[in-house]
Amino acid sequence: MNNFKSIASSNKTKTLIERVMNLLFLICGLLAVISVVFITIYMVASGGPVLAKVGFFQFLLGQVWNPDNSQFGILPMILASIFATTGAILVALPVGVLVAVFLAKIAPAKAASALRSLIDLLAGIPSVVYGLLGAIIIVPLIFKLQTALGLPTSGSLLSAIIILVIMILPTIISVSETSIRAVPKQYEDAALALGATEMQSIFRVIIPAAKSGIVAGMVLGTGRAIGEAMAIIMVAGNAAIMPELLRPVRTLTASIPIEWAYSSGLHREALYGIGLVLFVFIMLINIALNAALKKGGAGFDK
């Protein structure tokens, strides 16, 4: 009889713990959703008024940013952010995937472990250190190229792209390697049994099967690239002009910390508007990439 009572008591305790944990998980999930909702409301409320005062199209498509004359056109910053992020992803994604393949499938265990530690170290370096190294090493090298072409020496879009590539590579490599390692070994064995070489099995079977994780790495890398400010400020030249590869540019994220301290009135509202545009950009990028991923199938779960 006592055994039945102890079993019943134990079951009640387990049930109570499960209910408490379920409630805790629900609360955490609701907090995450509520946080996103409040951030969205705050950004719209803070950044929306400038769109009405300056004009929606004038703000987004205007090419002149001159707060002293109440000119708030952010098209050069939008294009600079898009070009810098796109250029960084186009370079970092294939390089990151190849490095991930090397670590997961080709490199000896000890070498892969050592390289993985170095990559993790790169991921933890503060962005200001990347900016400092870029200003000391990369920008002077580009100065030589600008001088050879008869251009003024300054920070440039090219130096911003190079810094962003270095910064987002660790994220793409780590997430892609994890996804590649998660592909069932039977996939590779089946491809080899059908006569495929090791490289063919990697590029025609394993990478397509791991594409959901690779896309996730690209999304994270894109988010970091488009949201980076400090390193970009130190290497890009910070001129709010239409972007060219070897000329100075200013991204959306760089504009806010550069001018925040002395902004007020409509100028402060315009900076909030830049934050709103950046927030919408990141949302649209995530939605588009997730939609493309679902349309193409979800990796080896397909």
Give the pLDDT of residue 78.
93
pLDDT above 90: residue 27? yes
Type and span of the H or E element at 65: strand 65-66
Alpha-carbon torsion 69, 77, 249, 124, what sign? positive
pLDDT above 90: residue 20? no
The tens digit of pLDDT for each residue in 124-155 reads 888 899 999 999 999 999 999 889 888 888 88
Domain end residue (candidates: 38, 54, 70): 54
> How does DSSP classify residue 299?
G
Q: Note the pTM of the prediction, 2 decimals.
A: 0.85
pLDDT above 50: residue 301? no
Give the pLDDT of residue 161.
95
Quote the percentage of the chain above a pLDDT of 90: 34
pLDDT band for position 3 (cuts 50, 70, 90): low
Count of domains in the chain? 2
Domain that holds residue 45: 2-54
What whole-number distance in Å separates Cα of residue 254 and Cα of residue 81? 10
Are 42 and 71 found together in one domain? no
Phi-psi label, residue 55: left if phi above 0, alpha if psi -120 to 50, beta otherwise: left
Are 282 and 193 found together in one domain? yes
Give the pLDDT of residue 46.
87
Mean pLDDT along residues 34-44: 89
pLDDT band for position 10 (cuts 50, 70, 90): low
Are 39 and 89 found together in one domain? no
The tens digit of pLDDT for each residue in 121-132 reads 888 888 899 999
Are 81 and 116 found together in one domain? yes
Q: Which of 142, 173, 169 is nearest to 157 (CA)?
A: 142
pLDDT above 80: residue 42? yes
Domain end residue (candidates: 54, 79, 94): 54
pLDDT band for position 5 (cuts 50, 70, 90): low
Are 22 and 127 found together in one domain? no
Are 12 and 83 found together in one domain? no
pLDDT band for position 173 (cuts 50, 70, 90): very high
pLDDT above 60: residue 298? no
Q: Which of 205, 183, 184 is nearest to 194 (CA)?
A: 205
The tens digit of pLDDT for each residue in 47-93 reads 888 888 888 889 999 899 988 888 899 999 999 999 999 999 999 99
Are 78 and 50 found together in one domain? no
Cα 52 from chain centre: 30
Give the pair of three-digit tokens for residue 134.
């870029």
What whole-number distance in Å separates Cα of residue 260 and Cα of residue 258? 6
Are 258 and 136 found together in one domain? yes
Mean pLDDT along residues 233-243: 90
Q: Which of 270, 280, 285 is nearest to 62 (CA)?
A: 270
Give the pLDDT of residue 167.
93
Are 65 and 39 found together in one domain? no
Are 137 and 264 found together in one domain? yes
Type and span of the H or E element at 66: strand 65-66
CA distances for 109 relative to 106, 112, 170, angstroms: 9, 5, 19
Q: What is the 3-state secondary structure (H, E, C) of 224-236?
A: HHHHCCHHHHHHC
Q: Locate tokens 């190849």: which residue?
A: 98
Are 215 and 73 found together in one domain? yes
What whole-number distance in Å separates Cα of residue 33 and Cα of residue 300? 29
Are 46 and 69 found together in one domain? no
Residue 93 sits in a domain of what CATH number? 1.10.3720.10
Give the pair of three-digit tokens for residue 102.
């090397």
